[in-house]
Chain A
Amino acid sequence: MRLDTVRLPWNSIGLLAVLLALVLLFSVLSNYFFSALTFRTLLNQIPALTVIAVGMTYVLLIAGIDLSVGSVMALCAAVAGVLLAQFGWSLWLAVPAAMLTGLACGALNGYISARWRISSFVVTLGMLEIARGGAYLVTDSQTQYVGNAVGIFGATLPGLGVSISLIIALLVVLAAQFVLVKTVFGRYMVAIGTNEEAVRLSGINPIRYKIMVFVLAGLLTGLGGVFQLGYLQSADPNAGLGLELSAIAAVVIGGTSLSGGRGSVINSFLGVLIIAVMQTGLAQLGVSEPSKRIITGVVIVAAVVFDVYREKFSFINAGKKLS
Chain B
Amino acid sequence: MEKTNPLLSIRGLNKQFTVAVLQDLDLQCYAGEVHALMGSNGAGKSTLCNIISGVLTANSGDMEFDGRPHAPESLLEAEAAGIYMVMQELNLFPTLSVAENLFFKQLGVVRGENTPQKTPMSGLLVDHGALREQSYELLARVGLNNIDPAMPVSELGLGQQQLLEIARVLHYPLRLLILDEPTAALTDPQIELLFEQINMLRERGCSVVYISHRMDEIRRVADRVSVLRDGRCVATQPVTDIDVDSLIHLMAGEGAATERSLADSAKRNRHTVMRVEHLAREGVFRDVSFEIRAGEILGIGGLIGSGRTEVMRCLFGADKADSGCLRFARDNFDQRHIHDCPQNAIANGVGLVVEDRKAQGLLLRAPVADNIVLGQERRISSALCVLSSAREAELAEPYVTLLNIKYDSQQQAVGQLSGGNQQKVLIARWLSMELPILLFDEPTRGVDARTKQAIHRVLRDLVAAGNAVVMVSSETQELLTLSDRLIVMSNGRIAAEISAEEATQERILRASFRYYNDVGTSGARIDAT
Q: Interface of A with B (CB < 8 Å)? A: 1-3, 6, 182-185, 187-188, 190-191, 194-195, 197-205, 261-262, 318-323
Q: List B contacts of A202 (CB < 8 A).
A: 342, 374-375, 429
Taking each of A185, A194, A195, A261, which has the highest tally of chain B beta carbons within 10 Å of its own beta carbon? A195
Q: List A contacts of B408 (CB < 8 A).
A: 321
Contact string, B377-413, partner A, CB cutoff 8 A, digits 1/0? 1100100111101000000000000000000101111
B75 close to chain A: CB less than 8 A? no
Contact B18 A194 (CB under 8 A): no
Contact A3 B366 (CB under 8 A): yes
Q: A199–B318 Cα gap in the complex (Å)?
A: 11
Stretch from B146-154, B355-363, B519-527 forming part of the interface with A: B355-363
Q: List A contacts of B384 (CB < 8 A).
A: 183
Contact B365 A198 (CB under 8 A): no
Q: A191–B363 Cα gap in the complex (Å)?
A: 7
Q: A199–B418 Cα gap in the complex (Å)?
A: 21
Contact A321 B362 (CB under 8 A): no
Q: List B contacts of A262 (CB < 8 A).
A: 365
Q: List B contacts of A185 (CB < 8 A).
A: 385
20 CB-based A-B contacts, threshold 8 Å: A2-B370, A3-B366, A6-B411, A182-B386, A182-B387, A184-B386, A187-B387, A190-B366, A191-B374, A194-B363, A194-B364, A194-B366, A195-B360, A195-B363, A199-B375, A201-B342, A203-B342, A203-B345, A203-B346, A320-B18
Q: List B contacts of A319 (CB < 8 A).
A: 17
Contact string, B47-86, partner A, CB cutoff 8 A, digits 1/0? 1000000000000000000000000000000000000000
Residue of B nearest to A192 (CB): B363
Q: Give the Cβ gap from A94 to chain B, nearest Cβ, in Å.
A: 30
Q: List B contacts of A197 (CB < 8 A).
A: 359-360
The number of inter-chain residue pairs (CB within 8 angstroms) is 106
If the complex has contacts A183-B386, A184-B385, are A205 and B343 also in contact, measured as CB distance less than 8 A? yes
Contact B346 A201 (CB under 8 A): no
Q: Give the Cβ gap from A311 to chain B, nearest Cβ, in Å.
A: 11
Taking each of A1, A200, A202, A318, which has the highest tally of chain B beta carbons within 10 Å of its own beta carbon? A202
Report the count of interface residues on B (CB-CB < 8 A).
47
B481 close to chain A: CB less than 8 A? no
Residue of B nearest to A204 (CB): B375
Contact for A201 among B47, B360, B366, B378, CB less than 8 A: B360
B354 close to chain A: CB less than 8 A? yes
Task: Using A184-B377, A201-B318 as known contacts, list a sample of 16 further A-B pairs with CB atoms less than 8 Å apart, ordered by residue number in A.
Answer: A2-B367, A2-B411, A184-B386, A188-B377, A190-B363, A194-B363, A195-B359, A198-B374, A200-B318, A203-B342, A204-B374, A319-B17, A321-B412, A321-B416, A322-B416, A323-B44
Q: List A contacts of B346 (CB < 8 A).
A: 203
Binding site of A, secondary structure by majority: helix, strand, loop or mixed? helix
If the complex has contacts A2-B411, A194-B364, A318-B415, are A200 and B381 also in contact, measured as CB distance less than 8 A? no
Q: A261–B316 Cα gap in the complex (Å)?
A: 26
If the complex has contacts A191-B366, A320-B18, A321-B18, are A203 and B343 also in contact, measured as CB distance less than 8 A? yes
Q: List B contacts of A194 (CB < 8 A).
A: 363-366
Q: Interface of B with A (CB < 8 Å)? A: 17-18, 21, 42, 44, 46-47, 316, 318, 341-343, 345-346, 352, 354, 359-367, 369-370, 374-375, 377-378, 381, 384-387, 389, 408, 410-413, 415-418, 429
Q: Give the Cβ gap from B145 to chain A, nearest Cβ, in Å.
A: 33
Contact for A198 among B362, B377, B378, B413, CB less than 8 A: B362
Q: A6–B366 Cα gap in the complex (Å)?
A: 12
Contact for A1 among B360, B385, B387, B429, CB less than 8 A: B387
Q: A299–B362 Cα gap in the complex (Å)?
A: 35
Q: A139–B417 Cα gap in the complex (Å)?
A: 58
Contact B354 A183 (CB under 8 A): no
If the complex has contacts A3-B411, A184-B378, A184-B385, are A323 and B363 also in contact, measured as CB distance less than 8 A? no
Q: A6–B367 Cα gap in the complex (Å)?
A: 12
Residue of B nearest to A320 (CB): B17
Q: A31–B387 Cα gap in the complex (Å)?
A: 49
Q: List A contacts of B345 (CB < 8 A).
A: 203
Q: A202–B363 Cα gap in the complex (Å)?
A: 11
Q: A195–B361 Cα gap in the complex (Å)?
A: 8
If the complex has contacts A2-B367, A201-B352, are A187 and B377 also in contact, measured as CB distance less than 8 A? yes
Contact B365 A261 (CB under 8 A): yes
Q: List B contacts of A200 (CB < 8 A).
A: 318, 342
9 pairs of A and B residues whose beta carbons are closest in the complex: A202-B375, A320-B17, A184-B377, A184-B385, A203-B346, A203-B375, A194-B363, A202-B374, A203-B342
Q: A191–B18 Cα gap in the complex (Å)?
A: 29
Residue of A nearest to B389 (CB): A1
Residue of A nearest to B352 (CB): A201
Q: A1–B370 Cα gap in the complex (Å)?
A: 10
Residue of A nearest to B413 (CB): A318
Q: Give the Cβ gap from B439 to chain A, nearest Cβ, in Å.
A: 11
Q: Give the Cβ gap from B392 to chain A, nearest Cβ, in Å.
A: 8
Q: List B contacts of A321 (CB < 8 A).
A: 17-18, 408, 412, 416
Contact A187 B370 (CB under 8 A): yes
If the complex has contacts A3-B365, A197-B360, are A184 and B411 also in contact, measured as CB distance less than 8 A? no
Q: A194–B318 Cα gap in the complex (Å)?
A: 19
Contact B21 A3 (CB under 8 A): no
Q: Give the Cβ gap from B276 to chain A, nearest Cβ, in Å.
A: 19
Contact A183 B381 (CB under 8 A): yes
If the complex has contacts A182-B386, A185-B385, are A323 and B47 also in contact, measured as CB distance less than 8 A? yes
Q: List B contacts of A199 (CB < 8 A).
A: 363, 374-375
Residue of A nearest to B346 (CB): A203
Q: List B contacts of A3 (CB < 8 A).
A: 365-367, 370, 411, 413
Contact for B46 among A183, A188, A323, CB less than 8 A: A323
Q: Give the Cβ gap from A97 to chain B, nearest Cβ, in Å.
A: 28
